[in-house]
Amino acid sequence: MSSPREPAPGTGRGAPALVAQGICRSFGGREVLRALNLTIGRGEFVAILGRSGCGKSTLLRILADLDPEAVGKVEVPARVAVAFQDARLLPWKRVAANVGLGVRDPDVEARVARALADVGMTDRHRAWPSTLSGGETARVALARALVREPELLLLDEPFGSLDALTRLRMQELLATLCARYRPTVLMVTHDVDEALLLADRVVVMVDGVLEHEVTMGAAASRTRSGDRFGVLREQLLGMLGVHGH
Amino acid sequence: MSDVGTTRQLALGTGRRHRRILPRWVRRLAGPLLLIAVWLMLTATGLVSSRTFPTVPDVWRAGSALVSQGVFLPALGVSARRVAIGLAIGLGSGLVIAVVAGMWGRAEDVVDSGMQVFKAIPTFALVPLLIVWLGIYESPKITLIALATAWPVYFNTFSGIRNIDRRFVEAAHTLGLGRWGIVRHVVVPGSMPGFLVGLRISLTNAWLALVIAEEINATNGLGMLLSDARIAFRLDRIVFVIVVYAALGMLSYALVRLLEERVLVWRPGFEGEQ
Ligand SMILES: Nc1ncnc2c1ncn2[C@@H]1O[C@H](COP(=O)(O)OP(=O)(O)OP(=O)(O)O)[C@@H](O)[C@H]1O
Ligand SMILES: [Mg+2]
């Protein structure tokens, strides 16, 4: 299950949704990404784990076309949506306007209403972002990403700043919405459990490349009580250099 | 004695405490009214002689006379026109320069350091130069007002644009907004608080510049009323014109406040319409 260097391409759902080849990025001579390769199949949910500062956000920024200085080849679909850890809702726009921003569709309002309903924020559509709680903010950020009906959804620790309980709720919500809309997802997380619960495949970034990967297989393993859950958890923690649990 | 900490009584009900009692603008009006009351008392009781400072009724009569003689309104019109044109030019150019410097990286260093020099020169020291260049009629007056109002708007808008969080620009980019969309949805609203601060200073400066500008060849406008009153030693008229200046200044301040309340509702802690 742990294949060195070259992660296998997508899980066989036709042409891949994302191909990144030989991605390199250094900051002032310090190499952060070193010829990193990643392929994600259509509809696949991939989680990236890695130590803090290893370059996960850097990779996501490159894939989101936010880094003009990166080297390498990136193929992504036309519709890519990003949800940042810090939400980045524009404070001068109400919730609904934030969600609908940049959506080119005569029926934006109906789409926004549906997206807000999906995340359970219908009654807050006229609120200012500064008045939302952390969990509400994360939900709006998720709605803003999903309303674009993305073919590729990039999530950078979308629930990183939430308390444990809200985080569990949000994970359930994300799983439900992904089952409904089947986007291709690449999610960065610090949380091994979160990765195991949500992803089809978990990759581990070490020294600027995706060093290990774990494929989840049957959905049955994706519950905390499943037999494999504990085994995979130990394995991933080991890959992250955490031992003795 | 007691080891219980402090107990605070929180405001009861939904709103803030004062809201229901008096609207904010009524409370704000109390300050000026208090000043007038003090003035009334000091002069009516003879504590201050009316030769030093005219009484309220004196000033009222002087003002009514100026209005009924058809002197005041034309003068006000001339001065208001100068302020309007000068302000329009000043605000417009300040804004344009700020946007150029703020949006176009290569222009920033040159433009901004240029404006710094400009700021270091006391605007009113330029009056002799303006007279030599532009004569003594409308153009030096309007130019002076424009100069005095351009830089506050420039500096505050520029720093407003500079201080926009880059992360919002990135977010807008990932939402599929182009350059124009980013200007419209991020740069303009994001720099609005700065612009409004600049606007407030500029309005204050505009009336100040008007007074200075109208000392050049005062043949019309409020400045003429003032210099005529001085020559005739009419304290009541002098004070009347001063009161008019104060009212104009407060009116423009109130306008900016109104604009801020409309435009900045989104700011945390800003109590506006819900
Ligand atoms: N703009 C930048 N300039 C200089 N160094 C940077 C910049 N952006 C990132 N880095 C460096 O690159 C490395 C990777 O950063 P990145 O944000 O991708 O880490 P990460 O894996 O997302 O970490 P975390 O899990 O803590 O969010 C870090 O050491 C960081 O200091
Ligand atoms: Mg990160």
Q: DSSP letters of chain A?
A: ----SS----SSSSSEEEEEEEEEEEETTEEEEEEEEEEEETT-EEEEEE-TTSSHHHHHHHHTT--TT-EEEEE--S-EEEE-TT----TTS-HHHHHHTT---TTHHHHHHHHHHHTT-GGGTT--GGGS-HHHHHHHHHHHHHTT--SEEEEESTTTTS-HHHHHHHHHHHHHHHHHH--EEEEE-S-HHHHHHH-SEEEEEETTEEEEEEE--SGGGSSTTSHHHHHHHHHHHHHTT----
Q: What is the pLDDT of residue B14?
A: 55
pLDDT tens track for A13-37: 568 999 999 999 999 989 999 999 9
CB contact under 8 A, A92 and B171: no
Minimal-distance CA residue to ligand 1 atom 28: A53
Helix (H) or strand (E) holding B205: helix B188-213
Domains of chain B: residue spans and CATH? 58-263 (1.10.3720.10)
The model carries a pTM of 0.81
Best residue among A33, A48, A49, A54 to mutate for probing ligand 1's pocket (most ligand atoms within 8 Å of CB) is A54
Domains of chain A: residue spans and CATH? 6-79+151-239 (3.40.50.300), 90-149 (no CATH)
Per-residue pLDDT of chain B (274 residues), as tens digits, is 455 676 776 766 555 554 557 777 788 888 889 999 999 889 888 888 878 889 889 999 999 999 999 999 999 999 999 999 999 999 999 999 998 888 887 788 888 888 888 888 888 888 999 999 998 889 999 999 999 999 999 999 999 999 999 999 999 999 999 989 999 999 999 999 999 999 999 999 999 999 999 988 888 999 999 999 999 999 999 999 999 999 999 999 889 989 998 899 998 765 544 3
Distance CA A43, CA A105 (A): 24
Enter the ipTM.
0.84
3-state SS assignment for residue B52: coil
Taking CA–CA distances from A154, the nearest residue in chain B reads B174
The residues whose Cβ lies within 5 A of ligand 2, an ion, are A 57
Q: How far is the CA of B28 from the centre of ligand 2 (A)?
A: 49
Q: What is the pLDDT of residue B13?
A: 58
Of B171, B176, B186, the CB nearest to A84: B171
Q: What is the pLDDT of residue A46?
A: 95
> At residue A165, does pLDDT exceed 60?
yes
How close does chain A come to B266, measured CA to CA in Å?
5
Tokens of A142: 């998720």
Q: What is the pLDDT of residue A244?
A: 57
CB contact under 8 A, A128 and B265: yes
